[in-house]
Structure 1
Amino acid sequence: MSERINELDPLELRCLTLAAHGRTREDMTRETDIPMARIDGALEDAMRKLQASNLAEAVFRAARLDLIS
């Protein structure tokens, strides 16, 4: 998994951070002016790279690895 973690891009990390702070996908779209499709794609890619089955697990893994705060 460590090789894939290095592949997390800034948008994926930003979306995971926002999710960790309780933001919904709609909130993320409003706060960042990034289209929902890009937000969804970034979160899906982050979940795949972190080998997480859902967003909560991805946030947990990213936080545990000190990728987000």
Structure 2
Amino acid sequence: MGSGNSETDAGVADDMIVDGRIILGLKTLRDHLGCTLHEALDAYVARYEVLRRERPADFTTSHEEYWANFYS
């Protein structure tokens, strides 16, 4: 994975993650981190879990609904 500041990197796709725009969030992470799709997916899921824990009211769908039509 490309180098970067983890403090800055952590929130680069937050709006997309909260809004459920998974593909756009993955693209943003790939571009920002300079990483593979698999690494971007790992980063996305990790950040999703943090946001679900820290900002649960910001999500409009359940965990199951969020991932319902996404196959990786």
TM-score category, normalised to shorter length = 0.3 to 0.5
Task: Give the structure-2-normalised TM-score.
Answer: 0.37
- Between structure 1 and structure 2, the one with the greater Rg is 2
